[in-house]
Structure 1
Amino acid sequence: MSSKVDRAIEAHHSYKERGSKNTAREYRRHIRQFRDYLRGDVDGVESGCDADPFDCHAGHVEDFYQWMLDEGYAPSSVRVAHAALGDFYEQVETYGDDGRRGFPTVVVDVDPTENATPERLDGMHSSSKKDVEGGDKPLTRDEVSELVDNVPAPTIRNELIVRLLYQTGMRRSELVRVKLDHIDRENRRITVYGKKTDESRTVWYQSSLDWHLTQWIESERDAVFNAAESDYLFPTRRDEMMSEQTVTDVVTEAAENADLQETIYQNRAGQSVRRVGAHTLRKSFGVHFINSGGDISFLMELLGHENIETTKENYLKYSEKDLRESVARHGPSV
């Protein structure tokens, strides 16, 4: 086993301790257990997988989850392990390129948790927002305005986050990776990069965002501790780049403040899954784009979908009324 793995686990533990010592301890336990599982150093595994956490794939991860279930771990524990490993690989990706914050210099080509999900395993199936009627429905335009009006402090930054998500349809993982030089303010366009790819696409925003971008970039952003050392649009006082969870927290708190939040269902871990999150703004962008007469093939490009069927499945169902009215107005009658 590479000593880099142990160094990365301890660096990750130190990083998480700043937020919650209990979470850090629990995450480290699961990450170490995964490391030991790959080596064959846990009960019920006769031999190792000839891999370590820096040289494994999604199949190893799902086998680990299945081993946990077979050993009697509750589904909620498996989900915590999934969260722990996903966070571990995210921080390794962030700090491992140049060995910052105590992490060893290491490159992980593919996050093995990205295509591994506990929900595919027996005994792990649970509802999703899509399974619950109306669970993934978009906000109305008035509700988006209410969301903007009720963001928590810092107001300028958080209004900009909500407006950007809504006006561009970006994923939260894409938003936090936007750099200053990705933004063409003259033409109101942003080059967007995915979480695990160098491929890009272009999104556009409206003139109503000009003031917020100018205020943030030229004034408010400079007050952030790491702004001078960061190339990213949204640095924080701790890191050069905002975390995806912070984006979610901004949106969900604004929804609570605006009295727009509601619990869709309780998952098997006993956690409340809420209607309004960062992805809700992406959903709202897409549906409002279609309802305003936008072409679905253009929407596919704007959202970064590889297949137009994905766009149709997720966005046309909430536009059926508008499509029906459009056919009534413009369709042939003979």
Structure 2
Amino acid sequence: MNFVEPIRDKEKLNELKQLLRENSARDGFLLTFGINTGLRISDILPLKVGDVRGKTHLVITEKKTGKPKRFKINKTLRAYIQSYTEGLNDDDFLFKSEKRPKPITRVRAYQILNGAARKIGLSEIGTHSLRKSFGYHFYQRTRDIATLQMIFNHSHPAITLKYIGITQDLIDEAVDQFSL
């Protein structure tokens, strides 16, 4: 498995949103949903319209950990959900495959995200970049590593900092400032 990075640059993030929305409503919504929830792709893809439409919280059992998770759907995402799900049935998958009556696969989600990211000059982007981008920007805005650690269910703040790329940013900055 390749190591992926968060999308740190907000302009690039907005450029990626625009490109994906132009490709399809589903692809744009995938990015928007992922960066606003911080959920793993394995927890996002099986979601159905009825799981999110009209809801203030998303309640799931995490595939990786088997633990229940209750996550607040922010106001901006609720508006996207309302718009995106208009005309869809509650049983419809949010990220339905065009070829079969199932959600897109993790591989297809990777192809969509990575392909669009490469078009705008981003590398090391994959499905996990959505979760990492959520964490990175949450931390940049709040500096609240304890809450982020709880959201991600990490055992230590250092794990969370490394996970969202802050540790690497600090190392890079320190090396840039160092010379003999």
Same topology, TM > 0.5: yes
Indicate if the aligned counterparts of 1:177 and 1:193 stay in contact, CA closer than 8 A.
no
The Cα shift of 1:166 comes to 0.9
Per the normalisation by structure 1, the TM-score is 0.44
Task: Identify if the C-alpha distance between structure 1 residues 196 and 206 changes in structure 2 by more than 3 Å, giving closer, same or farther.
Answer: closer
SS in 1 for 2:142: coil
Matching residue within 281, 293, 297 for 2:130: 281
Q: Distance in 1 between matches of 2:117 and 2:49?
A: 28
* Alignment pair present for 1:141 and 2:10: yes
Query: Quick one: structure 1 residues 185 and 295, their matched pair in 2 at CA, closer, same or farther if it must change by over 3 Å?
Result: farther
Give the direction of change, closer, same or farther, for the CA distance of 1:175–1:304 in structure 2 (3 Å limit).
farther
User: Which whole-Å CA distance do the structure 1 matches of 2:113 and 2:144 have between them?
Assistant: 28
Task: Spell out, residue by residue over 1:101-134, the C-alpha distance to the aligned partner (whole angstroms, 9 max, x if none).
Answer: xxxxxxxxxxxxxxxx9xxxxxxxxxx53xxxxx
Question: 1:198 Cα shift?
Answer: 4.1
Letter of the 1:243 partner, please give it: T
Pair 1:317 & 2:179 matched: no
Deviations 1:205-250 (A, max 9, x none): 433333431232122xx4xxxx68x453223240332211121122
Give 1:191's aligned residue.
59
Question: CA distance change for structure 1 residues 193 and 306 in 2, over 3 Å: closer, same or farther?
Answer: farther
Spell out, residue by residue over 1:39-70, the C-alpha distance to the aligned partner (whole angstroms, 9 max, x if none): xxxxxxxxxxxxxxxxxxxxxxxxxxxxxxxx
From 103, 115, 123, the equivalent of 1:241 is 103
Structure 1: which 5+ residue stretches go unaligned? Answer: 1-116, 118-127, 130-134, 263-274, 322-334
Q: Distance in 2 between matches of 1:163 and 1:317?
A: 25
Task: Check the 8 A contact 1:150/1:254 in 2, yes or no.
Answer: yes
Whole-angstrom CA distance in 1 between matches of 2:21 and 2:14:
14
Secondary structure at the aligned position of 2:69 is classed as: strand
Retained in 2: the 8 A contact 1:166–1:285? yes
The number of residue pairs the alignment matches comes to: 169
The answer as to 2:149 corresponding to 1:300 is yes
Q: Contact (CA 8 Å) 2:47, 2:94: kept in 1 or not?
A: yes
Conserved 8 A contact 1:165-1:175: yes
Residues 8-34 of structure 1 show CA distances to partners (whole Å, capped at 9, x for unaligned) of xxxxxxxxxxxxxxxxxxxxxxxxxxx
CA deviation profile, 1:163-214 (whole Å, cap 9, x unmatched)? 1111111111111122334326352x32233225542212334333334312
**How far apart are the structure 2 equivalents of 1:137 and 1:211?**
24
Question: Where in structure 2 are the equivalents of 1:1-334 lying within 5 Å?
Answer: 129=3, 136=5, 138-151=7-20, 155-183=24-52, 185-187=54-56, 189-196=57-64, 198-219=66-87, 222=88, 230=91, 232-236=93-97, 237-257=99-119, 259-262=120-123, 275-315=124-164, 316-317=166-167, 320=170
More relative contact order, 1 or 2 (CA 8 Å, 6+ apart): 2
Is the 8 Å Cα contact of residues 19 and 116 (structure 2) preserved in structure 1? yes
Cα–Cα, structure 1 residues 231 and 150, in superposed 2: closer, same or farther, change >3 Å?
closer
Distance 1:319 1:292, change over 3 A: farther
Contact 2:45–2:103 (CA under 8 A) maintained in structure 1: yes
Structure number with larger C-alpha Rg = 1
Per-residue deviation, 1:144: 0.8
Distance 1:145 1:175 in 2: 21
